[in-house]
Amino acid sequence: MRLKVINRQAVWDLLCCGGFAILLLYLLLSGAYLSYVSPRMKPYIYFMAAVLLLWSGRSL
């Protein structure tokens, strides 16, 4: 069975959560996150980015 209608809210959720997760990963990998938080927050930010990616993937 094919989906006939695309849920706009799910697409926006995918774009927002996925985009924010990618931004967090970029900040972590480039080291630019140090301008905003202390270095000991790095594992928590990795965890948050992973959860956001999973959440955005499950929205559709």
Q: Whose CA is closest to 23, among 58, 60, 56, 59?
A: 56
Going by pLDDT thresholds of 50, 70 and 90, the confidence category of residue 23 is: very high
3-state secondary structure of 2: coil
Whether residue 3 has pLDDT greater than 70: no
Proportion of the chain in helix, strand, coil states, percent, rounded to 5: 80, 0, 20
Average pLDDT of span 11-33: 94
- Token code pair at residue 1: 């069975």
pLDDT in tens, 29-55: 999 999 999 999 999 999 999 999 999
What is the domain partition of the chain in residue ranges? 8-58
How far is 57 from 47, CA to CA, in rounded Å? 15
